[in-house]
Structure 1
């Protein structure tokens, strides 16, 4: 049996190099809570080398988070480790991430230090949020459908009774039965819109840019705000398996919403790219078409961003809240994903459509349509 000193001598090289090969970010703070070590994973996560991080106070890294100086000092004093999840670390306006952080006490040269382990969870959090929102949207859609059918059936009987009654009353009373029929038709139309498109998509290989150009042409017929359109197309995108009319309607609803939200003379950008290794509601997609509709308007109120695609949710006082819900349904029928990110001055709707790797090669658009700015 080997002695303890022999075993320690043998494992020392492993211990010394182990942290450098960990995927988990590791940071060590000294007694003054300054950084004295960061492994390569931590350097990559913080986007700084160890030489730039060395002697940096922990408050600089974890400002405005629950990893406070008081908690770390208590850890040094008591040795009681803790774990906090969903910590937003913001190192600059353009560099922020969400992490799960575990803090524990370690000893180096007979002096207590703090060992911090950081695990970035942005992607897992985003996937979980998207799956949850998708499930909530499906539940809301099913609820609306159930209610719509319950309303629509008696409306048919009400309209029929009004038609029969109109034959029995004199001309002076016809306006009452006409009003009943008119309002029954209005409610039936509203219910049909709530139910959304119910026909299965007619899938064919389509030129995605041709569909976007049709949208541009349609909105150009009523451009009272003199909105400008910036096209930023990737001509290498192959044919996309989709229903041309349904996809056109989905994009048109989003563009119309943007036009209503932005001020006169502002810009809407239509952008296409190829995206790889994307996740659509928990399913990994190797290749997808990425369509962005971007505007520089005031942004979407934060209180409705999580429910934006639910029926009857709108940020405008005169909005019906059906356009985006219908777009979501149409994109869903293509096994795609519609999402939105909005801050004041930048609202971006993103459509992801799975792309078959054996897709037919698409003819590129004329150069005149690529990366140009046109007025709608």
Structure 2
């Protein structure tokens, strides 16, 4: 195919890969580079196995298209990219007169993604109502506990005993402050321009101080990312909750990767965004138990006997307030949480 024809393919919204007669990649259009998270220049001249770790069905589709000299469509094809992301696509393989092959990919998981986002939105609203009700119920007796501690302090003869009543009063005040935050309407978020890497570095320093030995937290940052607009403290709490869960699942022994990338042309809650920031927290722990995966964001659901089950619920609520999404994939040896935050 002449180079001038590539310009037409550049403007297609569908992902296009062009293969030569030796099954080597000649060209990827921008949609394919975005979908498969790879550079066309880096892939040029390489076989598909460098792009996909398991492409057996795709290889067979290419072989059938060549043998029959006709287009071949492979429905519901799952591809695992070089970054270990799973993609569900419909692929059309078309042989060209030059002996080359044109591969056209259509993601087929968008309806499923929209359904998951709608479910997440409904769940987040239900979780928020539950948390607000819970906070309201906890806030009232806290006032009684604090008042009783103050009265008790006045009746104590030994000043040394005042230390214990002060602990009660201070902890009651701390819990009351937390309940106030849970009862705060969405409109009172502290929005400001922020660097997502400052958020990640804050979390990294906190967790490394908590677990100084046996844990490795690796950085895989795209330092060219533009600034976000959001509530910095909320985003710190989101990442901290996810990372702490990973640390606890690995008993403080393992590896966590903090990764940032730019995502282009993403749809979040039925709204199209030209650019979004993608943050991934990846650990090599035992994975999330299968029976917990469908309800991991529900309140009071935890895989630990001593867990309160509110960390991921709050994380999902805070990300929803930023008009973003939070999803995960998990199997033994690799759990990946992906947070998508739209850029203005």
Same fold (TM over 0.5): yes
Per-residue Cα deviation, 1:160-212 (whole angstroms, up to 9, x for no partner) = 46765887x898xxx9xx99x95996699389459637373322222222222
Which stretch of the first structure deviates more once superposed, 182-191 or 154-163?
182-191
Are the counterparts in 2 of residues 292 and 349 from structure 1 also a CA contact under 8 Å? Answer: yes
2:292 is the alignment partner of 1:304: yes
Q: Is 2:146 the counterpart of 1:134? A: no
Change (3 A) 1:310 1:184: farther
Is structure 2 residue 232 aligned with structure 1 residue 247? no
8 Å contact from structure 1 (residues 288, 353) kept in 2: yes
Within 5 A, what are the aligned runs for 1:160-239? 160=147, 182=168, 189=175, 192=178, 196=182, 198=184, 200-239=188-227
- CA 195–206 in structure 1, closer or farther in 2 if over 3 Å, else same: closer
Provide the aligned C-alpha RMSD in A. Answer: 4.2
Tell me how far apart the structure 1 counterparts of residues 134 and 224 of structure 2 sit (CA, whole Å).
45
Q: 1:150 to 1:224 in 2, by over 3 A?
A: same
Pair 162,249 (structure 1): closer, same or farther in 2 beyond 3 Å: closer
Contact 2:266 2:272 in 1 (8 A): yes
Asked whether the 8 Å contact 2:263–2:277 carries over to 1, the reply is yes
Q: Which residue of structure 2 lines up, in the alignment, with residue 11 of structure 1?
A: none
Matches of residues 18-167 of structure 1 in structure 2 within 5 Å? 47=58, 48-49=60-61, 51-52=63-64, 97=88, 121-157=108-144, 160=147
Q: Is 1:324 matched with 2:336?
A: no
Q: Is the 8 A contact 2:142 2:172 kept in 1?
A: no
Deviations 1:66-111 (A, max 9, x none): xxxxxxxxxxxxxxxxxxxxx9776999877489xxxxxxxxxxxx
Aligned residues between the structures: 259
SS in structure 2 opposite 1:313? coil
Residue 135 of structure 1 and its aligned partner are, at CA, apart by 0.6
Correspondence 1:352-367 to 2 at 5 A: 352-356=340-344
Whole-angstrom CA distance in 2 between matches of 1:263 and 1:147? 30
Which has the higher Rg, Structure 1 or Structure 2?
A: 1
Q: Deviations over 1:27-57 (max 9, x none)?
A: xxxxxxxxxxxxxxxxx9x63436437999x
Determine the C-alpha separation between the residues in 2 that align with 1:347 and 1:202: 31
Separation of aligned partners in 2, 1:276 and 1:92: 20
Please report how far the alpha carbon of residue 252 of structure 1 lies from its aligned counterpart in structure 2 after TM superposition: 1.7
8 Å CA contact retained: 1:270, 1:292: yes
Higher relative contact order (CA 8 A, sep 6+): 1
Tell me the distance in 2 between the aligned counterparts of 1:190 and 1:342. Answer: 36
Corresponding residue for 1:338? 326
Contact kept? 1:300, 1:347, Cα under 8 Å: yes
Q: Does 1:273 align with 2:267?
A: no
The question of whether the paired residues in 2 share the 8 Å contact of 1:196 and 1:329 is answered with no
1:261 to 235, 249, 253: 249
Residues 128, 194 of structure 1: alpha-carbon distance in 2 compared, 3 angstrom cutoff: farther
Normalised TM-score (structure 2): 0.61
**CA–CA distance in structure 2, aligned partners of residues 347 and 92 of structure 1:** 15
| Cα separation, partners in 2 of 1:214 and 1:192, compared to 1, 3 Å | closer
